[in-house]
């Protein structure tokens, strides 16, 4: 209906213009009206334009050729101009459509190129982030190597391991254990993210069937991302552990310690982090081995080989230090010198092996009956000393009496026989008895000889 109305409109406009043109002296304005109308209709109302062209062209041709009307009109050029105007929108639209398609094609090409560049940029960005992450890991490992080479203290080395582990790997819970001095167990030195007091109360025997001992004997890193998928470790579920790692500190096929970390969630560490962690632990192992060897040498240098008490040289050094502290804080310090009674006679009767056994057992009793703050050393031969800081003469006498009674009641086995020994002890106290270390030793020694002169198996305090 709408198209029919446009056609009728076009035909009526054409007939109206033809009629106006027949009027005498229509002028230039009326002769231009067909062009104006066609320009308007062909763009806005194409159906009306088509009928306007047909009716106007036919009417113009018939009127001129049949009846001699429109002498001022050039029929063919005018019809051609109107036809050209009519077809102009189609040509323009086709041209615009071609340009639009070309533009769309170029736009799509550019868009594809942009997406491609964007993907490349994202890939490069991720790669750059990964490289930066690896660079940071390398820098941290360099710091580990540098720090590990600068310390020869075992505890400092373990603290360093804890610090770098927390900084580099962000583990939720982990423990670090190190081989004990007697090489019979692993002692837990650090517990991070868990009850340190609880873990420190546990030692891992080398030959036990505990998980840590078994893994240590296997000497391999272990990474279990989900204990449910591994029957060997499924019992860990009872401890609310879903995943864990075990990394031995391995030096020359010997495990000198380990780091064990666990989590209540699965996959708390990925493959890349685990690989970096192995490199980290390899560096720690080297530093820890040096520190353990240094500690062992240091301990040997200040320890008597037979009794495992401190050496004579170390005793004199520590006595000087403790006297300085006692003088500074106006506190008392007592010195006990102990001698095994008739020790030469014991050696002559039972042999030097039995005599060495007596020395070792008396040294053990001395350590057990002394406080943690006391310094217990071998003075020479069968003589031993106890440096007791912040201890009055009366308190020192009580300690000495405990030692004397324990030794007297202890039975020493020699072959099938059991024997007994006794000890004599001399006591002197700073500052009332002496002001210097040498003089304090001398006063204690005099008290010891007084005890021997009075029948042995007794305690004498200075002044005699």
Q: Residue 431 has what pLDDT? A: 95
Q: Do domains 151-302 and 312-461 have the same CATH topology?
A: no
Q: Tell me, what's the pLDDT at 376?
A: 96
Looking at per-residue pLDDT, the higher value among 330 and 146 belongs to 330
**Which is more confident, 422 or 83?**
422
> Where is pLDDT greater, at 320 or 273?
320
Q: Cβ(311)–Cβ(304) under 8 Å? A: yes
339-345 mean pLDDT: 94
**The domain 151-302: what is its CATH number?**
3.30.450.40
| pTM exceeding 0.75 | no
Domain boundaries along the sequence of the chain:
2-93, 151-302, 312-461
Q: Domain 312-461, what fold? A: Alpha-Beta Plaits (3.30.70)
91-100, 208-217, 343-352: segment of lowest average pLDDT: 91-100
Confidence of residue 97 (pLDDT cuts 50, 70, 90): low
Lowest mean pLDDT among 21-25, 89-93, 348-352: 21-25
Residue 141 has pLDDT above 70, yes or no: no
User: Mind listing the pLDDT tens digit for each residue in 370-407?
Assistant: 998 999 999 999 999 999 999 999 999 999 999 999 99
pLDDT, greater one: 27 or 157: 157
Lowest mean pLDDT among 86-90, 265-269, 310-314, 459-463: 86-90
Q: Identify the band that residue 263 occupies on the pLDDT scale cut at 50, 70 and 90.
A: confident
Most confident of 95-109, 201-215, 358-372: 358-372
Token pair belonging to 241 = 């552990």
Residues 196-251 pLDDT 10s: 555 555 567 888 888 888 888 888 988 888 877 776 777 777 777 888 888 898 88
| Structure-token match 């720090």, residue found | 147
Query: What's the pLDDT score for residue 184?
Result: 83
**Secondary structure of the chain in HEC code, one letter for each residue:** CHHHHHHHHHHHHHHHHHHHHHCCCCHHHHHHHHHHHHHHHHHHCHHHHHHHHHHHHHHHHHHHHHHCCCCCCCHHHHHHHHHHHHHHHHHHHHHHHHHHHHHHHHHHHHHHHHHHHHHHHHHHHHHHHHHHHHHHHHHHHHHHHHHHHHCCCHHHHHHHHHHHHHHHHCCCEEEEEEECCCCCEEEEEEEECCCHHHHHCCEEECCCCCHHHHHHHHCCCEEECCHHHCHHHHHHHHHCCCEEEEEEEEECCEEEEEEEEEECCCCCCCHHHHHHHHHHHHHHHHHHHHHHHHHHHHHHHHECCCCCCECHHHHHHHHHHHHHHHHHCCCCEEEEEEEECCHHHHHHHHCHHHHHHHHHHHHHHHHHHCCCCCEEEEEECCEEEEEEECCCHHHHHHHHHHHHHHHHHCCEEECCEEECCCEEEEEEEECCCCCCHHHHHHHHHHHHHHHHHCCCCCEEECCC
Cross-strand partners of 263 = 243
Mean pLDDT of 88-105: 69
pLDDT at 197: 53
- For the ranges 24-33, 184-193, 286-295, the maximum mean pLDDT occurs at 184-193
For 405-429, the pLDDT digits (tens) are 999 999 998 888 899 999 999 999 9
Q: Which of 283 and 46 is assigned the larger pLDDT?
A: 283
Q: What is the four-CA torsion angle of 345, 350, 352, 355, rounded to 10 degrees?
A: -70
Determine the pLDDT at residue 447. Answer: 96
Calculate mean pLDDT across residues 268-296: 79
The answer to whether the CB of 428 falls within 8 A of the CB of 447 is: yes
Mean pLDDT, the chain, integer: 81
Among 47-51, 204-208, 355-359, 365-369, the minimum mean pLDDT is found in: 47-51
Q: Give the percent of the chain with pLDDT over 70.
A: 75
Q: Which two tokens stand for residue 45?
A: 């109302």
21 or 106, which is more confident?
106
CB-based burial label for 347 (10 Å; 0-12, 13-18, 19+): middle
Q: How far is CA 130 from CA 119, 143, 208, 272, 332, in A?
A: 16, 20, 43, 11, 63
């Amino acid at each position: 209906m709408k198209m029919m109305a446009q056609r009728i409109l076009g035909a009526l406009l054409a007939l109206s213009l033809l009629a106006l043109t027949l009027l005498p002296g229509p002028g230039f304005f009326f002769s231009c009206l067909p062009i104006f109308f066609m320009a308007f209709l062909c763009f806005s109302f194409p159906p009306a334009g088509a009928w306007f062209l047909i009716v106007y062209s036919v009417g113009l041709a018939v009127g001129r050729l049949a009846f001699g009307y429109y002498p001022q009109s050039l029929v063919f050029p005018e019809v051609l101009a109107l036809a050209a105007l009519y077809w102009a929108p189609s040509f323009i639209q086709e041209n615009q459509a071609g340009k639009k398609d070309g533009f769309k094609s170029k736009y799509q090409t550019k868009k594809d190129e942009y997406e491609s560049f964007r993907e490349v940029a994202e890939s490069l960005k991720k790669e750059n982030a990964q490289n930066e992450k690896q660079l940071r890991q390398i820098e941290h490992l360099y710091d580990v190597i540098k720090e590990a080479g600068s310390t020869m203290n075992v505890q400092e080395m373990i603290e360093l391991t804890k610090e770098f582990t927390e900084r580099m790997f962000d583990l939720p819970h982990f423990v670090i254990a190190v081989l004990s001095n007697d090489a019979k167990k692993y002692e837990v030195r650090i517990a991070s993210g868990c009850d340190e007091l609880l873990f420190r109360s546990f030692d891992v025997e080398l030959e036990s069937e505990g998980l840590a001992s078994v893994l240590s004997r296997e000497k391999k890193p272990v990474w279990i991302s989900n204990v449910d998928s591994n029957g060997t470790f499924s019992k860990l579920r009872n401890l609310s552990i879903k995943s864990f790692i075990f990394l031995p500190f391995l030096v020359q096929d010997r495990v000198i310690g380990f780091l064990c970390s666990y989590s209540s969630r699965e996959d708390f560490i990925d493959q890349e982090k685990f690989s970096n962690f192995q490199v980290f632990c390899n560096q720690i192992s080297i530093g820890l081995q040096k520190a353990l060897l240094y500690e062992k040498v240091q301990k040997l240098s200040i320890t008597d080989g037979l009794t495992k008490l401190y050496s004579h040289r170390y005793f004199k050094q520590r006595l000087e230090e403790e006297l300085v502290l006692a003088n500074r804080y106006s506190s008392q310090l007592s010195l006990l010198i102990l001698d095994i009674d008739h020790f030469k006679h014991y050696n002559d009767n039972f042999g030097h092996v039995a005599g060495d056994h007596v020395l070792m057992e008396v040294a053990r009793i001395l350590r057990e009956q002394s406080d943690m703050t006391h310094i217990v050393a071998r003075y020479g031969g069968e003589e031993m000393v106890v440096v007791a800081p912040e201890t009055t003469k009366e308190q020192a006498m009580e300690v000495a009496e405990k030692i004397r009674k324990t030794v007297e009641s202890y039975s020493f086995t020699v072959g099938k026989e059991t024997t007994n020994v006794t000890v004599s002890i001399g006591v002197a106290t700073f500052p009332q008895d002496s002001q210097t270390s040498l003089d304090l030793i001398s006063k204690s020694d005099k008290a010891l000889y007084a005890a021997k002169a009075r029948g042995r198996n007794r305690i004498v305090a200075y002044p005699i």
